[in-house]
């Protein structure tokens, strides 16, 4: 479950050639003049003189101070040190790169930390002893109650008391106090939410809007001139690139920093909170940066300090497997709330089952892709919602929605299932559906409306 030297050699040869020529000339001369014995003796004497002079020069150099210095280097430091200079230079370059990378991460943290907040969740609870709490999959702790401690009286147990029941993370997107977090962090309508900023100031928070299709919520506190984070582009991220996560780990250690890489992209999983609540998360980012319970709603940052994701879940029973919602899924929501103060979700109004090869074979369907319009288990789970855009476009049970604006609906690609494609549009957009209806393919136009409105 889920909760990156020819010159010298050449001249020697030339000298040898000259010597041969000179010798030949001497021998020819001796034959002509009749002095063949005297000249070879003279040549031998001259050769002995040159050899003696050369030997003296060599021993003279060995006795000099310069030669002593050279031999001292070889004796004291060794030949290896001469070759180690190159290795030392390469090591210095590597160290400089490491220092540069560390400096970049340090800068990201310094600039981003003031914009990251802790969210404290409190609620009136019965006056019974809280034996302990454990973090759930998402990061909002849930409590186990084991009754009063010994020595307590029944009077001590009457009524309720305000108690912290969980914690999460968020970050500022506007200077006047608008904060992004996860929906599951603030989904308790009976709870109170307090924002604690990086300078330990506390502010009561109001939930402005929650997204029913994504695990994103916008809350707000009163104030101004708060430090904000820049939203980056999650479509441009690559596996292996460095990321930094900041969050309220375990609900106790605010602004905890962890560093890692992007481990995977376009993951899909079902995440739960340990209390029976669960949701499907599509097209999310996987990272090995430690995302602990309490980090939910915190920013996942690139090396430029831009938000590329919102921490959302961790995998139970695993190490360094965390997930974040791509920031491009968040941008549209934040812009809507900034402009209108609410989240407007487009709505088609059908229940469906995604078709794959197995379902096609089992039900003898004409396609191995698309969304089969189908009713739910209950009698009230209509295949097409009465009064919905789908109803007005005359979609009926057992129709197959094949494409939306030319994009095939696929069970294998989480980006191209029906709900994901619909979520890319806005309220009042007109889309073209390619459907299969009673054995015939046809195109129909549908105007999307806001969810919960006909």
Q: Which residues are catalytic?
A: 184, 215, 296
Query: Do 142 and 134 touch, CB atoms closer than 8 A?
Result: yes
Nearest CA to 230 among 147, 286, 159, 301?
301
Tokens of 375: 């009713």
Distance CA 246, CA 96 (A): 26
384 HSE (CA, 13 A, CB side): 18
């Amino acid at each position: 479950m889920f909760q990156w030297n020819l010159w010298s050699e050449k001249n020697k040869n030339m000298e040898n050639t000259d010597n041969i020529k000179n010798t030949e000339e001497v021998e020819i001369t001796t034959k002509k003049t009749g002095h063949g014995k005297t000249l070879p003796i003279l040549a031998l004497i001259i050769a002995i003189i040159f050899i003696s002079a050369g030997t003296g020069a060599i021993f003279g150099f060995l006795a000099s101070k310069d030669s002593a210095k050279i031999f001292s280097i070889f004796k004291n430091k060794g030949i290896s040190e001469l070759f180690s200079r190159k290795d030392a230079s390469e090591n210095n370059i590597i160290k400089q790169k490491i220092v540069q990378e560390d400096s970049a991460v340090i800068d990201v943290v310094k600039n981003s930390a003031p914009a990251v907040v802790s969210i404290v969740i409190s609620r009136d609870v019965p006056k019974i002893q809280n034996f302990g709490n454990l973090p759930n999959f998402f990061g909002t702790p849930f409590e186990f109650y084991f009754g009063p401690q010994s020595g307590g009286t029944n009077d001590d147990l009457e009524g309720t008391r305000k108690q912290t029941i969980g914690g999460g993370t968020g970050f500022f997107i506007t200077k006047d106090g608008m904060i992004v977090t996860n929906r599951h962090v603030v989904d308790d309508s009976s709870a109170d939410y307090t924002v604690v900023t990086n300078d330990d100031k506390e502010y009561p928070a109001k939930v402005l809007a929650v997204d029913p299709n994504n695990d994103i919520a916008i809350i707000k506190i009163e104030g101004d001139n708060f430090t904000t984070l820049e939203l980056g582009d999650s479509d441009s991220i690559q596996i292996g690139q460095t990321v930094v996560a900041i969050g309220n780990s375990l609900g106790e250690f605010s602004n905890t920093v962890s560093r890692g890489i992007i481990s995977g992209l376009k993951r899909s999983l079902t995440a739960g909170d340990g209390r029976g609540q669960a949701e499907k998360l599509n097209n999310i980012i996987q990272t090995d940066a430690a995302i602990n319970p309490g980090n939910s709603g915190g920013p996942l940052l690139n090396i430029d300090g831009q938000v590329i994701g919102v921490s959302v879940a961790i995998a139970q029973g695993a190490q360094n497997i965390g997930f974040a919602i791509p920031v491009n899924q968040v941008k549209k929501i934040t812009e809507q709330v900034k402009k209108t103060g609410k989240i407007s979700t487009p709505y088609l109004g059908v229940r469906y089952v995604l078709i794959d090869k197995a379902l096609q074979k089992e039900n003898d369907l004409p396609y191995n892709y698309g969304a089969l319009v189908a009713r739910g288990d209950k009698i009230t789970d209509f295949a097409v919602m009465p009064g919905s855009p789908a109803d007005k476009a005359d979609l009926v049970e057992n129709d197959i929605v094949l494409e939306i604006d030319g994009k095939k609906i696929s069970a294998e690609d989480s980006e191209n299932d029906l709900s994901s494609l619909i979520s890319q549009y806005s309220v009042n957009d007109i889309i073209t559906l390619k459907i299969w209806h009673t054995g015939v393919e046809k195109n129909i136009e549908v105007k999307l409306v806001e969810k919960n409105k006909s």
